[in-house]
Amino acid sequence: MMSGYEQRIRRSVALLQEASTVTAFSGAGISTESGLSDFRSPGGVWDRYRVVTYQEFLASAEARKEYWRMKHALFDELKHARPNRAHRALAALERAGKLEHLITQNIDGLHQEAGNAPERVVELHGTNRKALCLDCGKAWPIEQIDAILEAVGFDPPCDACGGPVKPATVSFGQAMPETEMLRACAQAAGCDLLLMLGSSLQVEPAASIPRLAHSEGARLIFVNRTETPQDHLATVLFREDIGQVLHDLVARFGAPPWEGS
Residues 6+ apart with CB under 8 A from 123: 104, 106, 107, 180
Query: Which of 125, 214, 232, 247 is the catalytic position?
Result: 125
Check if the beta carbon of residue 158 is closer than 8 Å to that of residue 138.
Answer: yes
Q: Does the annotation count 125 as an active-site position?
A: yes
Q: Which residues of 67-105 are buried (b: 16+ CB within 10 A; e: fewer)?
A: bbbbbeebbeebeebebbbbbbbbbbbbeeebbbbbbbb
d(CA 89, CA 114): 9
- Residue 126 — φ and ψ, nearest 5°? 85, -160
Q: Which residues are catalytic?
A: 125
